[in-house]
Amino acid sequence: VSCSGLNFIDLMVRQGNIDNPPKTPLVPGFECSGIVEALGDSVKGFEIGDRVMAFVNYNAWAEVVCTPVEFVYKIPDDMSFSEAAAFPMNFVTAYMMLFEVANLREGMSVLVHSAGGGVGQAVAQLCSTIPNVTVFGTASSFKHEAIKNSVTHLFDRNADYVQEVKRISTDGVDIVLDCLCGENTGKGLSLLKPLGTYILYGSSNMVTGETKSFFSFAKSWWQVEKVNPIKLYEENKVIAGFSLLNLLFKQNRGGLIKGVMDKLLNLYNTKKIKPVVDSLWALEEVKEAMQRIHDRGNIGKLILDVEKAPTPLMANDSTETSEAGEEEEDHEGDNENKERMPFIQ
């Protein structure tokens, strides 16, 4: 392994906020990039020394991993290992939601939360490959300068985005991508046009910690909209859920994902999409990296770099983030997409 990706789901696993959390001891992580070191006897299409990226059912945060060949993909020659580790989860999730579930077409409109996170940036890039798609995004204000060109309309995460969207588009939007859950479920459904699609793909409001108490967890849970099928019928609305990990590892749809990866790699090779890497971290710095995700400070993807040595602490760096999460606190920060020095409070 050269690099591994950090995702908001990793925080949820750590806190036990998922169905059937795994037993410890456990090596976390679901995606990585590196070089093929050994092959199973019947493996075709790969050779020792190939540069690859892969989905892993846990265990990705390690120096060596073993995963079935159906979850492994060759890396384009001009893609770095850090980009490759930032590619599979975010872009496959974004592509599947937009094109397989919601059937994005020319002239549609999309609302995406956490527009500065890894999935949010992937959604914005994929929307730009279809003519005349309007993208509404929410993000912490300190991220706006860095991501303002990736979305059509950008709102502060604390603003009343329902009213802001309706002021611009009276009828609402065609697609809502919700990684927050809680009260945002009802808000998202209320914004849908007739024949619009709401997709829940995360529940970052359910994550607890230093800035999220159990009581806020309970409040978020009770704020989840109770869906009435008759109301969906009357209003011509679609509500859906999407979990890439369940699709891969529980529902055996690796072949479907392979086809999506082929399309995504073609888009990468034609320079239509490119992973946004927020920062690189040594394995020893995983605690601080996860804190950055928890605090919603990242723009793009956080990467664990196996070869990277721990860096000296820089107390002037902000520790905010989101990969599939609601932004937490507004900080003035450096908005450029570059490697950042880790910070421990």
DSSP states along 246-281: HHHHTS--HHHHHHHHHHHHHHHHTTS----EEEEE
**Residue 191 has what pLDDT?**
95
H helix count then E strand count, the chain: 12, 12
**Residue 12 has what pLDDT?**
84
155-209 confidence digits (pLDDT tens): 998 889 999 999 999 999 999 999 887 778 889 999 999 999 999 997 665 555 5
**Residue 341 has what pLDDT?**
44
Please state the domain extents for the chain: 3-305
| Three-state DSSP state, 45 | coil
244-270 confidence digits (pLDDT tens): 999 999 999 999 999 999 999 999 999
Q: What is the pTM of this model?
A: 0.86
**Residue 22 has what pLDDT?**
85
**Residue 321 has what pLDDT?**
35
**Residue 340 has what pLDDT?**
42
φ and ψ of 48, to 5 deg: -60, 135
**Residue 317 has what pLDDT?**
47
**Residue 335 has what pLDDT?**
39
Strands 301-305 and 3-6: antiparallel
**Residue 337 has what pLDDT?**
38
Instruction: Name the superfamily (CATH) of residues 3-305.
Output: NAD(P)-binding Rossmann-like Domain (3.40.50.720)
Instruction: Report residues of the chain scoring pLDDT below 70.
Output: 203-225, 313-345
**Residue 120 has what pLDDT?**
93
